Amino acid sequence: LYLSRAKLKATSRTSALLSGFAMVAMVEVQLERDHKYPPGLLIAFSACTTILVAVHLFALMISTCILPNLEAVSNVHNLNSVNESPHERMHRHIELAWAFSTVIGTLLFLTEVVLLCWVKFLPLESNTEENNGTISSGKAAAIASTCIMVPFALVFIVFAVHFYRTLVSHKTDRQIRELDQVIRLQEQLDNRSENDGLK
């Protein structure tokens, strides 16, 4: 219950922050009228921003719908109230919101930053200088941001996979221990009933 509540709170905060940033980036970006942008860049920027906002708003909607129910149940200090909580029934929705906000949403946000750098810095080409085979400072800045962000995204993906596998391993070990306890209890009850039958 408390883990689900914490996940939904984190999802809510993260999604609101990142989708808000993406909307501001989309609105505030000022395209140079006299620069001919590659159509693929503008389409990628627009699509990435739209998907980013949609993913985070979906995660935010899930957390907004489920979190009040969990808050209400967790504030009642009664063990029976935990059974009334929808956190087990809505477990898949909570995990979906968590994955959308922290994994997919964060990867989209990293992509958004790279695309924003390309849209912002690409027009900074020197029109007065002749093309002497070197790249412009704007293009160099965009390439630099891409070179920084790609390894960071790879590290993020490796960490996410490692974290998920560790979490699954921990849950599996815990379930195995609980199952072993149930088996031992069953054996004790069987031994006790056999001893009572012999008397």
Question: Per the confidence metrics, is the pTM higher than 0.75?
Answer: no
Distances from the Cα of 142 to the Cαs of 23, 40, 122, in angstroms? Answer: 21, 15, 7
Q: Residue 84 pLDDT more than 90?
A: no
> Domain extents for the chain?
2-153
Kindly state the tokens that stand for 49: 């921003």
Q: Work out the average pLDDT over 185-190.
A: 86
Q: Residue 23 pLDDT more than 90?
A: no
Q: Which residues contact 18 (CB under 8 A, 6 or more apart)?
A: 52, 56, 101, 105, 106, 109
- Residue 19 and residue 60 in contact, taking contact as beta carbons nearer than 8 Å: yes
The C-alpha atoms of residue 121 and residue 5 are separated, in whole angstroms, by: 41
Q: Which residues contact 124 (CB under 8 A, 6 or more apart)?
A: 136, 137, 138, 139, 141
| Dihedral, CA of residue 16, residue 22, residue 27 and residue 32, to nearest 10 | 170
Q: Work out the average pLDDT over 83-98.
A: 78
Q: Residue 131 pLDDT more than 70?
A: no
Q: Give one DSSP letter per residue of 175-197, joined into a string.
A: HHHHHHHHHHHHHHHHHHHHHHH
Please compute, for residue 122, the number of CA atoms within 13 A of its CA located in the half-sphere on the CB side: 20
Nearest to 95 by CA among 11, 184, 185, 193: 11
Question: Is the domain defined by 2-153 classed in CATH 1.20.140.140?
Answer: yes
Kindly state the tokens that stand for 114: 């790279």
- Residue 118 and residue 153 in contact, taking contact as beta carbons nearer than 8 Å: no
Q: Residue 32 pLDDT more than 90?
A: no
Which residue has tokens 């990628």? 44
Greater model confidence, 122 or 48: 48
